[in-house]
Amino acid sequence: MYEIDAIDRKIIRQLRLNSRISNVDLGKEVGLSPSACLRRITLMEKAGIITGYTALVDMAAGEQPIAVIIQITLERQTEEYLNRFESAVRRYPEIRECFLMTGGSDYLLRVDVESAGAFERIHKEILSVLPGVLRINSSFSIRNVLSTRQK
């Protein structure tokens, strides 16, 4: 099992800001040689700590997607119900994020849609058929006030 240290955390922080950073620049940022950075990244990928990379698309030229935040309450909070729900959620790429929560709802989901009609399809074909769901409460975002990605 690979245990991350302070340098690994610095590497992860830099990769979250720019996953295409060169190993030379990454090494300068974290105080390692390029080859040492590559070796650590490879070890973290093999250990499943780094699970992938993604492209962030600037939608300024086109229509901005609408982020929909969805609160899900399950019929029961047993391990069986939680596992069934989480397993089902993983099958739908439309669901961008899923958080197990404390408080008033059991899960918080995020989906991105182009329109209310597109969300209606997701609600009808995905959300309403997830196992164990008692209540669905959805909120549409107006605009993104803060993004954690560096521009």
The count of structural domains within the chain is: 2
Cβ neighbours of 62 (radius 10 Å)? 9
- 76 sits in which H/E element: none
Q: Do 63 and 135 have their domain in common?
A: yes
pLDDT in tens, 20-79: 999 999 999 999 999 999 999 999 999 999 998 877 666 555 567 899 999 999 999 999
Helix locations, the chain, DSSP H: 6-17, 23-30, 34-46, 79-89, 116-125
**Domain contains 150:** no
- Look at residue 147 and tell me whether its pLDDT is greater than 70: no
Per residue in 9-19, pLDDT (tens digit) is 999 999 988 88
Out of 33-47, 55-69, 106-120, 125-139, pick the least confident.
55-69
Q: How far apart are CA 69 and CA 37, in angstroms?
A: 37
Place of tokens 């609408």: 66
Range of the domain at 17: 6-46
Q: Is the pTM of this model over 0.75?
A: no
Residues 69 and 112 placed together within one structural domain of the fold: yes
Q: What b/e string do you get for 69-78 counting C-beta neighbours within 10 Å, with b at 16 or more?
A: ebbbbbeeee
- Is 78 part of a structural domain of the chain? yes
Are 69 and 27 in a shared domain? Answer: no
Q: Name the E strands within the chain.
A: 66-74, 95-100, 107-113, 133-140
Indicate if 13 and 80 belong to the same structural domain. Answer: no
134 plus 64 within the same structural domain: yes
Average pLDDT for 83-92: 96
Q: Are residues 40 and 111 in the same domain?
A: no
pLDDT at 151 over 60: no
Q: Residue 95: pLDDT band by 50, 70, 90 thresholds?
A: very high
